[in-house]
Structure 1
Amino acid sequence: MLSAAELAAVYGVRAGTAEARASAADGAGDDVCHFCPPVRRGDQPAWHPPAPGGGAYVSGLRVHNSLTRSKELFVPAQGRRVRWYTCGPTVYDVAHMGHARAYLTFDILRRVLEEELGYEVEYQMNVTDIDDKIILRARRNKLVRDYRAEGRPIADVRADVDAAAAAFDAKLRAKLAQLEAPLPAGASPIEADERLELLQVQRLKLEQWAETEARIAVARAGADAAALIDSALEPLAEALDARLGDSVCDQAVFEEHARRYEADFFEDMAALGVRPPTILTRVTEYVPETVAFIESIIAKGLAYESNGSVYMDIGCLRGAGHDYRKLMPAGADAETTDAQMSEGEGALGGCSSEKRSRNDFALWKASRPGEPSWPSPWGGGRPGWHIECSVMGSATFGKNMDVHAGGADLKFPHHDNELAQSEAYHGCAQWVNYFWHAGHLHIKGLKMSKSLKNFVTIKQALGAHSARQIRLMFLLQPWDKPMQYSDQTIGEARATERKLRDFFGVVKALRRDAWLGRPTAPTPAERALAGKVAAFRRRAREALLDNFNTPQLMAHILALCADVGEHVRATAKEPQSGALVCSDAAVAVTRTLRVLGVAEQDEFGLPLAGGDEGGGGSREAHVTPYADAIVKLRDQLRAHAKASKDGALLALCDGVRDDALVALGVRVEDPTGGEANSSWRLDEPEALARELDERRERQRDKERASLAQALPTKKKELEKARLAAVPPALLFRSDKYAGKFSAFSEEGLPTLDAEGKELSNSARKSCEKEWRQHEAAHKAFLAKPEAYLADLTRAVESLEEQLARLGGAAGRGDSA
């Protein structure tokens, strides 16, 4: 916790003094928030550092604030209470790993604030349950369901699909041509970068469309109308919507769609171990408050009505002294680009001619037929995208909050527009003190996105990896930087989990030993390790205080694990067991992992899937005497097998390790150095089986490579032997020389070529030389054992069969 002097050094003013209170730019009451003098970082608008009031608590955390693009001292306005709002999901489809990146990341940060730094976090999340994406998806799903239920003849479905596919293809290609056209003269670098990214995205969409066209062609050739509809869902739904969308007028269609995917989202969050919010708010439950919020902004002259919609007036907002944009600053005359406009107004955005300036954005959108609608002074309509968070966040936290969080893609336009309308409504200069943005999750170079169809759903990810491995993957990356979702990143997480399990296994093995029967006075080596444990505790907190630096923290954890492993190996033959200092290290690591949401044990270790009473502790106590007995007996059998060179018994011991014990969730590791006995620890059977499969596959890869290298050599030897078996008199009549000669001498030498012409001197001499070489090879072949050729043939066939059994390509050729 920082002292008053340290706070003064940071802010240049004593917190809580009259000078600090006088510097507050928003006129907030004493019960809300005080501010220190404003600061500027680069080209960012002025930021007003919050000054702690009575009962101040400052942990020393410095965190990247998107409002300044710098690490700032974190100072909650109300002591230990942290008022945190996070943009929640737009529930129109299943959640994917891009969502996991944001919400699991914020779960980690929240746990650190609560578990490590002692803050009391009031965590609000919204659910966007009415939005253009939800409207379109719910409406189109209903239209496709209705179309399917009509039971149309296959010929009619083919005609409809053909027309829909042609229109869809033309739209995609027209968009590509538009993006490939040269930018206007004087286009900004931002527009150039945006155009390049949009081109990449559009080309990916065309690649995906080509795959869809192939599926449609296959389904079209059949007689199954349902299969054809399934193959062409997107273009068919779009065509049906264009023709019949305005006929969907039952508001329950949209509500049921949103509720379904909302429940699915929170099921995924629970499976990932993400703590639920303390406050959950839905847009549809705050429509009256939204109308009143917008009326207040209009009354201040900062918004206007146009054709039943309401728009924020950016020119008037700036004229009233408000900063816009704060997160992605731009000059007062900067224009919002077409892509930004599309993102801000949604797929069902209003007409740009309704607005006074293209930079203005919708607070309220007039509803058209086929869209849900609520009453308002401006006619039937619905809230704009950005206004929802302003209304719900203000309803909970008022005119100021400590933290607002969301994905990096929300900075502009969503979050900048949120700030604009909220600060217009409250008449303040700073509605949010700290903006935290989680870095994008990329897959194959592009942001993971439903619209790009390049996403991996959370359920798919959890089918391949555990929730702990996914959490570790994010912990190994900076929380506020982009990251790749790839085999490499998840592989690093799995390797980290394995190292942690190995570490805890080593310590548990020490604890199972009769360590109380040994000397307990700390040795110099144990004192040195104890110093490393103490240093780890200090460094772990320092890493978390430095912008939640979990990659650095994980490096500290793994370094301590390695130190303990080295200590155990180096002191294996000493009388002291080292059980106490190593246990202390395990407790320190587990406590840190528990803060991060990785571990749950009261003492130390990682929880086991399906573990009972304390995440597997009682299970281990129950299993220990039996596992000890089995492993001890196996060690004795292995020693006997090695001494007597009994390969069958040794293979049997390996089978016990790799099959029977794996199925029970017992990992056995055989000694690799001077140790006499194997060690064991509990693990998850699925993880053990997966590692065993991977190890066996690596072994098969080696065998495949060896066989693939040996097979061509053996085939060449067989081909050479088959030729040597031919008597010299028949050499030039064999298949090797078929069609080359038409007459031969008694010895079998060619005399005439294929056309009946006498061979030239040089050709005759060449044949004679080859005949003599073959005669020598034939004599050598006759000297071989009678079964020589058959043995070679069987050897080649055996290699081919082994390679085929291992999944390799043998290519029998003419050797069969």
Structure 2
Amino acid sequence: MSLSGTGNFLNPPCCPDNRHPWYPPEASTADPIAQGHLLLRNTLTGKKEPFVPMQARHVKWYTCGPTVYDSSHVGHARTYLSFDIMRRVMTDYFHYNVLYQINTTDIDDKIILRARQNELMKQLEEDATVDFDKLVVMAKEALEEAKAKSDEKREGILAAIEEATKNKDSRARTEQEGLLEQHLVKRKNLDRDETQILEVCNNSSKDGDSRAKLLVAAKSVLAEKLDREKGHLITDHAVFNAHARKYEREYMEDMAALGIREPDVLTRVTEYVPKIIAFVETIISKGLAYKSNGSVYLSLDAFQEAGHNYRKLNPAGPGGAATTEAEMAEGEGALAAGGSEKRNPNDFALWKASKAGEPAWDSPFGPGRPGWHIECSVVAGDILGERVDIHSGGEDLKFPHHDNELAQSEACFGCHQWVNYFTHTGHLHIEGLKMSKSLKNFITIRQALENNTARQLRIMFLLQAWDQPMNYSDQTIDDARSKETTFKSFFREVEALLRDDYLSQEVGWRMGDADRKLSDAYLTARQLVHESLLDNFNTKDAMMALLKVISEANTYLRTSNSKPSVLLLRAIATYITQILKVFGVVNGSDDFGFGGAGDGRGDAGDGNGSEPYIGAMVSFRESVRNAALEAAKGGDAKSAIDSILKICDGLRDEVLPTLGVRLEDRPTGTMWNLEDPEVMMREMKEKAAKEREIQISKLEKQLVAREKELEKVKSSMVRPQDLFRSDEFKEWDEAGVPITMANGEPVSSGQVKKRKKAIEKQEKMYADIMEKSSNNPQELLDSVQGEIDTIKAKLADLSL
């Protein structure tokens, strides 16, 4: 068959793992990679399939964009960077003609809730009649309501787990256990909020500053309470629009900061409402959807009776297990009306009747708003047509969002396969949990870019399989930084060789064994990169192939007895750069290398503007000259040499980095390269921070040792005969051994013996301290105390 979705449905292809039929485009039955075919993991089949676009070399690609209710986090970066890399490989390496569309969800339950809550919190903040005392009462009430709601939620989950266990329903039990884990994290966040709220309530002076602090501490629980009580009063569309536009702009800025290419087409839900209404009317006219209380639902019973399949991406499993309550809640949103108006509890909304406090558009079904899933079907159908080659999104969208998209699109277009290839990025985890705003364990893209460059984040994702879960951690970031350094160091080596004009010295005109070995490694790397990219965009193995040939080249440079083949090294560096450009790690028109851009999104400056360099050299010359003149006056040549070397190191380590010049001292001389000053300054800060940590650790160990020494000096200063002279005893012998207790009872012979040994030990310690201090232990004590004070002062300075 040449078009997907138009095959013989009486004899569908094999469907493993209880999956629904997938009708593949025509492809060669030979080894796809050997035949040069791209393999793509297709969620519709759960395995890698040969990629065959509906029209040769043309690809229609749709990706779900953000729901713009809050700042984008690194989990979003994981998805959009991964698809950006795949798109770049498909266009810049495999040379497909791609039409890439992204949609922005700018009206949704989450946006409505967050916009209402923020507006109500703003009104509360500006309400002068609510003073600190009234706010304390409100905050405590909101806290108790939130805790009661949390307890009720927990009891419901535990009851569901018990029921699933009783019914031996492992699928439902696993789902509820996952919900319990998430609930416990949320409860931990609520407990933290409670601590902060009570701290402000109990330790404040009731002034304006205290009120502001309480508003911040109690924001989460107060916002929910206010929304329950007054959310229905927020009716102005401008409130919801302003909220969505703010985070929409922030999302676009974040994507630009990450170096992600803009889509070819960017759509927005609120601009498609008339076409959404028409789309819904078409489904109703086919008898596959129905109206109910102003809403419209897709009838899954009618849909499947018409020969369509449901839950293609996340099959229900053996026996066709029904959609769970948790899955339906996720699909319908936080503001869903409930299931009483549905014919089948699993039917999902195409159009939602708007309640008080929700934006509404007029429609033949009554005032309402689009359902969550319908938007993607309509915007993608309008731009890309009734068939789509690739549809992409995050793992968490597979069900219900994407499965519901497929159902309503196939219902409207009358086809059995709206999308040929579905791709889903794996979850991003922090501390073992999926990154989620509801769990408050997310790192925003902007926070991530404060400590890492866009290039480092891109390399981190390149080193992971795009369709598998991954952990975001210091280890993964450090690994990306290490790989970036490897690339940079290699480019600097080759640049230095070219600058030394080795070609004019007749180098590279003949090849020895080492040269041939390196050339074989180069060709092998190219083949491995090609095969890796054909194999489901396997950028991890492609990056490893690039790093391996760099390792081979470094070994070649380190061990070769003859002068290096600069032509070959330049070819390797140029190829690596070309692949890194395909990946979006490098931009610009340089033959090879990162250029001067530290974030992978631009080139270095053009080198114009010599004033900073002239100023640095003038200052350097003056410092060296003054050091020499000072030495000439005193005749101290060694002092002059030390000063000049220190000035030279300062030029290398402190001055030139600010100008983007990197110097490296080598046994054969000094190598220089141009670099992005921001990158070098960041490296300097990181190096200084590590050195400071090392200093702090060293000083802390010294402090422990000196404090132990102080205690030893203090105890050694006690005269042996005074060791046991205390109120515990009444009489002692001439050596100071106690013989009578304070109550008149004699000290036991065992205790007398024990204390004699202690006095003997003290005699040795006392003699040692007197000898060590020249009979002045107080001076030694003061000296050790002075060292402790000095160490503490240094630690205080380093902690600033």
AA at the equivalent of 1:78? Q
Residue 563 (str. 1) matches residue 552 (str. 2): yes
AA at the equivalent of 1:108? I
Aligned residue among 88, 91, 99 for 1:122: 99
The superposition leaves residues 181-213 of structure 1 with CA deviations (integer Å, 9 ceiling, x where unpaired) of 213432532211211111011111111111111
Residue 801 (str. 1) matches residue 765 (str. 2): no
Match of 1:62 in 2: 39
AA at the equivalent of 2:75? G
Distance 1:642 1:437 in 2: 69
Distance 1:38 1:261 in 2: 44
The superposition leaves residues 294-352 of structure 1 with CA deviations (integer Å, 9 ceiling, x where unpaired) of 11111111111111111111111111111111111126753111110111111111220
Distance 1:782 1:612 in 2: 67
Structure 1 residues 380 and 773: alpha-carbon distance in aligned structure 2, compared to 1, 3 A threshold: closer
Match of 1:175 in 2: 153
Tell me, yes or no, if the aligned pair for 1:309 and 1:362 is still in contact at 8 Å.
yes
Residue 378 (str. 1) matches residue 353 (str. 2): no
The superposition leaves residues 436-460 of structure 1 with CA deviations (integer Å, 9 ceiling, x where unpaired) of 1111111122211122221111111
1:329-728 to 2 correspondences below 5 Å: 329-330=315-316, 333-520=320-507, 521-524=509-512, 525-571=514-560, 574=562, 576-602=563-589, 603-609=591-597, 615-616=603-604, 618-619=606-607, 653-671=648-666, 675-699=667-691, 701-702=693-694, 708-709=700-701, 715-728=707-720
Where in structure 1 are there 5+ consecutive unaligned residues?
Answer: 1-19, 29-35, 811-816
Structure 1 residues 52 and 617: alpha-carbon distance in aligned structure 2, compared to 1, 3 A threshold: farther
Distance 1:788 1:516 in 2: 75
Give the C-alpha shift of residue 526 in structure 1. 2.2
1:140-155 to 2 correspondences below 5 Å: 140-154=117-131, 155=133
Structure 1, 399-408 or 242-251: larger mean CA deviation = 242-251
Tell me, yes or no, if the aligned pair for 1:139 and 1:245 is still in contact at 8 Å.
yes
Match of 1:160 in 2: 138
Give the C-alpha shift of residue 617 in structure 1. 6.8
Match of 2:633 in 1: none
Match of 1:243 in 2: 229
Tell me, yes or no, if the aligned pair for 1:89 and 1:127 is still in contact at 8 Å.
yes
Tell me, yes or no, if the aligned pair for 1:711 and 1:796 is still in contact at 8 Å.
no
Give the C-alpha shift of residue 389 in structure 1. 0.8
Structure 1 residues 533 and 803: alpha-carbon distance in aligned structure 2, compared to 1, 3 A threshold: farther
Give the C-alpha shift of residue 700 in structure 1. 5.1
Residue 325 (str. 1) matches residue 311 (str. 2): yes
Residue 305 (str. 1) matches residue 291 (str. 2): yes
AA at the equivalent of 1:46? P
Match of 1:99 in 2: 76
The superposition leaves residues 209-231 of structure 1 with CA deviations (integer Å, 9 ceiling, x where unpaired) of 11111222233343233332232
Aligned residue among 731, 752, 768 for 1:743: 731
Aligned residue among 16, 20, 24 for 1:49: 24
Distance 1:501 1:627 in 2: 25
Give the C-alpha shift of residue 519 in structure 1. 2.5
Structure 1, 307-316 or 600-609: larger mean CA deviation = 600-609
Tell me, yes or no, if the aligned pair for 2:525 and 2:546 is still in contact at 8 Å.
yes
Tell me, yes or no, if the aligned pair for 2:395 and 2:424 is still in contact at 8 Å.
yes
Give the root-mean-square deviation of aligned CA atoms.
3.6
Structure 1, 244-253 or 196-205: larger mean CA deviation = 244-253
Give the C-alpha shift of residue 149 in structure 1. 2.3
Tell me, yes or no, if the aligned pair for 1:204 and 1:452 is still in contact at 8 Å.
yes
Q: Which has the higher contact order (CA 8 A, sep 6+)?
A: 2
Tell me, yes or no, if the aligned pair for 2:692 and 2:798 is still in contact at 8 Å.
no
Tell me, yes or no, if the aligned pair for 2:710 and 2:784 is still in contact at 8 Å.
no
Match of 2:32 in 1: none
Structure 1, 244-253 or 280-289: larger mean CA deviation = 244-253
Give the C-alpha shift of residue 676 in structure 1. 3.6
Structure 1 residues 786 and 695: alpha-carbon distance in aligned structure 2, compared to 1, 3 A threshold: same
Structure 1, 316-325 or 328-337: larger mean CA deviation = 328-337
Distance 2:53 2:717 in 1: 92
The superposition leaves residues 84-109 of structure 1 with CA deviations (integer Å, 9 ceiling, x where unpaired) of 11111111111111111111111111
Distance 1:610 1:762 in 2: 76
Structure 1 residues 700 and 226: alpha-carbon distance in aligned structure 2, compared to 1, 3 A threshold: closer
Distance 1:230 1:63 in 2: 47
AA at the equivalent of 1:204? V
The superposition leaves residues 383-413 of structure 1 with CA deviations (integer Å, 9 ceiling, x where unpaired) of 1111111111111122201010111111100
1:583 aligned counterpart, secondary structure: helix
1:257 aligned counterpart, secondary structure: helix
Tell me, yes or no, if the aligned pair for 1:52 and 1:76 is still in contact at 8 Å.
no
AA at the equivalent of 1:77? M
Give the C-alpha shift of residue 628 in structure 1. 12
Distance 1:580 1:553 in 2: 23
Match of 2:189 in 1: 208
1:352 aligned counterpart, secondary structure: coil
Structure 1, 69-78 or 700-709: larger mean CA deviation = 700-709
May I ask how many residue pairs the two structures share in their alignment? 768
Give the C-alpha shift of residue 616 in structure 1. 2.2
Structure 1 residues 764 and 193: alpha-carbon distance in aligned structure 2, compared to 1, 3 A threshold: closer
TM-score after normalising by structure 1: 0.86
Distance 1:427 1:388 in 2: 18
Distance 1:499 1:137 in 2: 45
Structure 1 residues 777 and 213: alpha-carbon distance in aligned structure 2, compared to 1, 3 A threshold: closer
Distance 1:564 1:625 in 2: 36
The superposition leaves residues 165-188 of structure 1 with CA deviations (integer Å, 9 ceiling, x where unpaired) of 221121111101111221343253
2:52 aligned counterpart, secondary structure: coil
Tell me, yes or no, if the aligned pair for 1:533 and 1:588 is still in contact at 8 Å.
no
The superposition leaves residues 491-542 of structure 1 with CA deviations (integer Å, 9 ceiling, x where unpaired) of 1111111111111111112122131342222332223222222222222111
Distance 1:642 1:526 in 2: 48
The superposition leaves residues 767-798 of structure 1 with CA deviations (integer Å, 9 ceiling, x where unpaired) of 55554554455455544452763346424542
Distance 2:437 2:603 in 1: 36
What is the identity percentage for the equivalent residue pairs of Structure 1 and Structure 2?
44
Structure 1 residues 776 and 467: alpha-carbon distance in aligned structure 2, compared to 1, 3 A threshold: closer
Distance 1:689 1:393 in 2: 45
Structure 1 residues 753 and 70: alpha-carbon distance in aligned structure 2, compared to 1, 3 A threshold: same
Distance 1:719 1:427 in 2: 87
Structure 1 residues 763 and 337: alpha-carbon distance in aligned structure 2, compared to 1, 3 A threshold: closer
TM-score after normalising by structure 2: 0.88
Tell me, yes or no, if the aligned pair for 1:404 and 1:432 is still in contact at 8 Å.
yes
Give the C-alpha shift of residue 253 in structure 1. 1.7
Structure 1 residues 456 and 642: alpha-carbon distance in aligned structure 2, compared to 1, 3 A threshold: farther
Distance 1:794 1:508 in 2: 56
Tell me, yes or no, if the aligned pair for 1:52 and 1:79 is still in contact at 8 Å.
no
Tell me, yes or no, if the aligned pair for 1:718 and 1:793 is still in contact at 8 Å.
no
Match of 2:272 in 1: 286
Structure 1 residues 476 and 630: alpha-carbon distance in aligned structure 2, compared to 1, 3 A threshold: farther
Distance 1:699 1:614 in 2: 31
Structure 1 residues 298 and 646: alpha-carbon distance in aligned structure 2, compared to 1, 3 A threshold: same
Aligned residue among 101, 111, 116 for 1:139: 116
Tell me, yes or no, if the aligned pair for 2:389 and 2:419 is still in contact at 8 Å.
yes
Match of 1:12 in 2: none
Tell me, yes or no, if the aligned pair for 1:663 and 1:689 is still in contact at 8 Å.
yes
